[in-house]
Structure 1
């Protein structure tokens, strides 16, 4: 019997992976988000009479799937962009979650007689967070980089803040915690987790830098979200926030600490993990529908009793989000205008402090870098300005997803209307994916956001020009080419892996040795150029001179070229 069970489990796992692959392949052709396809497929399978009831433990999603998904998303999040929009991300992921939970709590308290206000707030916290996985849809549709950063950053942290608020509200409903206790618990959940996550990210990067085998180093990275999650939970903080913090720190340090082979291995393997886990989250969500319907039927209610509260709650959540986001964007624009007004003063200060190549670690150097960063931030806010149209994308892009359903299933067993409320959470997530996700491309097209493609191409060309300048400077340095006249001639002619004809008196073996030696020397020179170009890119990143997307693309090119030289 055990063998049969194992075979069945293996067959289900294979079918799930194939379904995820099919959904991701068909999504682009059908112009439908892959998460929506997977939810639909899961729902269709769950309603088949041959399929038994499907129970998903909420811990499977909250502990098993979410930490690596949030860690992977945080690793890919440019810290430079995160810092620039930290105020917006913090307001959306913490303040908006609290406001939405309190207002939705009034609604549930009004329509459900046996639900007190504290439990209503808990239900509001379940429906408030946007989904990190579902939000990725907007990036694939080509939304502006700043909007993607804000939505991604929000979804990284609001899951954790909503779950912390959910636990506190449930405790308050049981009259076991005071308001001051809720506040202290909330703050500690965030701050303690950030410290733990940052420490784990730093330590694991140092450990992985000592591992020569890229596959082994990547395997160690798979433990990072759980190494951060577990101690954070043990000290009463949020394990999800710790996983995010570990990802942010790990991604920031990887380009300095790890080799090109390690980074490429991470990118490829973590992308595969993301695809499988993202798909599994939404597939499991769909497979649960029949079980939820049966539970509601057993409690003498129907799915219609869950559908209308879900529709009203989703409309309320979007309305609250709109009321919150519009003034937030206005305040961000006012702040940006004040910064832009300071630009002439900062430029004058910068001109008074010319660069000194021998002054790399002094107060003057750090002051110049702060000025460069401030000027770069001003340019970012000017070119990536947010107005009412961008605000509408932020509002509409706040999709709910599987986290909402998983959080609902953590409600205590004695919660009034528990089965109905879980089905409400399912319908909110499903409606959000179907309506917001399904209409996302139409919304982006109708809003006619500014086309930034020309600016992006121009920026990449400027950065490529800087990299060519670094290469030219390195190739004219005698310390790089040495005193070998043949090598110097090869560098000057830029004819890699080719050697001028040698004297007829040389034997063929000597000529071959000379050719191979020169080829090795040329690779050595190119590696030195790549190292210098990478140092320049990191310096540009520290100053914020270019966008994170342009810098990342150039760093990836250098990694690929370095790998080809090593091959």
Structure 2
């Protein structure tokens, strides 16, 4: 009964903290840490010891899965390089540098444990994303922070597990202190297995839930997906967290095509609630455990000065390493989206159009759909060309290849389905690359954005959970190491979390014009969908859900109203009209799926349009049920 009361109180506290946080201008997790710390000081409160496995296995997989499902896929793809660098390279570098620091300031610490503690402190937390979103910073910065916090957890935990395993091996073979032996093979295996299992689980999740129409059963299946991805991956020696992330990405990207509107809306609300409760619980527990950790360090290390000093040094190293890396990243990103790249892509697009029209002599494109490059030309980023005309001077084999290419150019079958498919694929890639360039030009990364990315690198849930996994028997001064991790997490949350809004105001990064740009983008997308609906009305394939055709006069009536909308809100709530509107929504959703792969619209705009279509469909289906 007492445990039940504690759970009820915790849920209420998390909900209230989340509700009042925007009014106070403070992130909800920061409030929960303060509340937990205050409660832990009460003399009659006894905080039970919580097994860290409950957090690593029971909390992190669904948390990361939930974030992966909601990941903005288009923007994530465009900035995958910088995100991967922040999530992998920066974590590795930070862990090693911190490991050297801990070996210098903590006498007798095992080198592998030093690097493991560095891995614990290296991953950033998603709490920064919620703060940055509220401050109106560029969506590109938000996406990079989201992607980093999603992927760097897995990197840090794989490194942590490898270091702890090396300590166990060193102990069993007589004290070998070499660090990281076999790390790269272990890391590669962990990622490969995780990606394979996660992708398979995500695909099976889409197919199975598409067949299960009962909403309650469907929701139940959705809740266990991250654990289904996590458990077998861990048994195979992979990273279960990476598998949960991959399963979430596959599910999120396939939901528009495989799930019903009811499933999508239900998943959105359910996972948002799960994420709120789990993340809030971890931060609340963090505050509750502070008192005990502080007491242990006071007893064993004659006060908190040692731990606080080491934690302050570690946090300073983390910020400096992050600042150095982000400076290089921003400089590299500033070199993107140059006009020269755009000219090359546009020239390639013109050549493909000439080939499609049959003007092969002017197009410079062979039947193999490669591009005959002139002097100074180069492949453009993001476009993979097929085999075609080899440029002059490529070696002895160039003559025969050039002869075959000339024969192909003389008599190509441009109208063949294979060539048309290749042309369409190349057009799509070029269009996507041009959209990417537009994105980079519209959302450039400058030093101010870099400053926000640096200062938003707070530590949180993963650091707290991972610190508890340090082995109790093989770790000297474990209480000190755990306190350092807690101090770094709390210090970064308090220091950076409270000052981040001030930094954004100081740099004047708020973008009040974004609303107008979003409305213009949404209006253009609405026009695309409206055109798709009008085209569907003239298609002979338009059918009811039972496969029967619509009456021509009904189609003509609705078509005239769409081309020339009436001033009044006249509607005909007949079953045939409702069925026709559902068929038009399906046509618009199909067009929306096509646009999703083109890169011309942002993920928020596409998801907003999908949500509107889903809401309309659910309303129409409810009215159809009333008609029955």
Question: Is this a same-fold pair by TM over 0.5?
Answer: yes
Residues 167-178 of structure 1: pairs in structure 2 closer than 5 A: 167-174=161-168, 176=170
* Equivalent residue number for residue 4 of structure 1: none
* Equivalent residue number for residue 492 of structure 2: 432
* Equivalent residue number for residue 132 of structure 1: 126
Residues 531-542 of structure 1: pairs in structure 2 closer than 5 A: 531-542=586-597
Residue 416 (str. 1) matches residue 484 (str. 2): no
* Equivalent residue number for residue 508 of structure 1: none
- The count of corresponding residues between Structure 1 and Structure 2 is 544
Distance (whole Å) between structure 2 residues aligned to residue 536 and residue 283 of structure 1: 45
CA offsets per residue over residues 291-348 of structure 1, 9 Å max, x none? 2123223424322322121122111101100001110221122244364453433443
- 3-state SS in 2 of match to 1:54: coil
Shift of 1:210: 0.4
Residue 342 (str. 1) matches residue 344 (str. 2): yes
* Equivalent residue number for residue 512 of structure 1: none
Shift of 1:523: 1.1
* Equivalent residue number for residue 458 of structure 1: 520
Distance (whole Å) between structure 2 residues aligned to residue 459 and residue 529 of structure 1: 22
Answer yes or no: is the 8 Å Cα contact 1:490–1:498 preserved in 2: no
Distance (whole Å) between structure 2 residues aligned to residue 387 and residue 349 of structure 1: 35
* Equivalent residue number for residue 213 of structure 1: 214
Residues 223-242 of structure 1: pairs in structure 2 closer than 5 A: 223-242=224-243
Give structure 2 stretches of 5+ with no counterpart.
171-177, 358-413, 543-548, 623-628
Distance (whole Å) between structure 1 residues aligned to residue 179 and residue 480 of structure 2: 28
Answer yes or no: is the 8 Å Cα contact 1:135–1:398 preserved in 2: no
Answer yes or no: is the 8 Å Cα contact 1:54–1:291 preserved in 2: no
Distance (whole Å) between structure 1 residues aligned to residue 179 and residue 23 of structure 2: 53
Shift of 1:552: 0.9
CA offsets per residue over residues 499-541 of structure 1, 9 Å max, x none? 7xxxxxxxxxxxxxxx76xx11111111111111111111111
Distance (whole Å) between structure 2 residues aligned to residue 149 and residue 352 of structure 1: 38
Shift of 1:399: 1.1
Distance 1:354 1:155, change over 3 A: farther
* Equivalent residue number for residue 360 of structure 2: none
Shift of 1:478: 6.8
Shift of 1:351: 4.6
CA offsets per residue over residues 545-567 of structure 1, 9 Å max, x none? 11111111111111111111111
Answer yes or no: is the 8 Å Cα contact 2:116–2:164 preserved in 1: yes
* Equivalent residue number for residue 267 of structure 2: 266
Distance (whole Å) between structure 1 residues aligned to residue 423 and residue 222 of structure 2: 38
Distance 1:249 1:479, change over 3 A: closer
Distance (whole Å) between structure 1 residues aligned to residue 18 and residue 189 of structure 2: 39
Distance 1:484 1:541, change over 3 A: closer
Residue 489 (str. 1) matches residue 557 (str. 2): yes
Distance (whole Å) between structure 2 residues aligned to residue 152 and residue 352 of structure 1: 42
Shift of 1:456: 2.0
* Equivalent residue number for residue 69 of structure 1: 63
Distance (whole Å) between structure 2 residues aligned to residue 256 and residue 358 of structure 1: 29
* Equivalent residue number for residue 387 of structure 1: 446
Residue 565 (str. 1) matches residue 620 (str. 2): yes
Distance (whole Å) between structure 2 residues aligned to residue 188 and residue 331 of structure 1: 30
Distance 1:354 1:371, change over 3 A: farther
Distance (whole Å) between structure 1 residues aligned to residue 217 and residue 6 of structure 2: 29
Answer yes or no: is the 8 Å Cα contact 2:327–2:450 preserved in 1: yes
Answer yes or no: is the 8 Å Cα contact 2:74–2:599 preserved in 1: yes
Answer yes or no: is the 8 Å Cα contact 2:464–2:486 preserved in 1: yes
* Equivalent residue number for residue 505 of structure 1: none
Residues 81-96 of structure 1: pairs in structure 2 closer than 5 A: 81-96=75-90
* Equivalent residue number for residue 502 of structure 1: none
Distance (whole Å) between structure 1 residues aligned to residue 228 and residue 240 of structure 2: 9
Distance 1:184 1:529, change over 3 A: same
Residues 137-176 of structure 1: pairs in structure 2 closer than 5 A: 137-174=131-168, 176=170
Answer yes or no: is the 8 Å Cα contact 2:121–2:463 preserved in 1: yes
Structure 1 range deviating more: 102-111 or 485-494: 485-494
Answer yes or no: is the 8 Å Cα contact 1:70–1:132 preserved in 2: no
Residues 28-47 of structure 1: pairs in structure 2 closer than 5 A: 28-47=22-41
Answer yes or no: is the 8 Å Cα contact 1:409–1:422 preserved in 2: yes
Distance (whole Å) between structure 2 residues aligned to residue 18 and residue 354 of structure 1: 64
Q: Return the structure number with greater helix share.
A: 1
Shift of 1:32: 0.2
Answer yes or no: is the 8 Å Cα contact 1:105–1:120 preserved in 2: yes
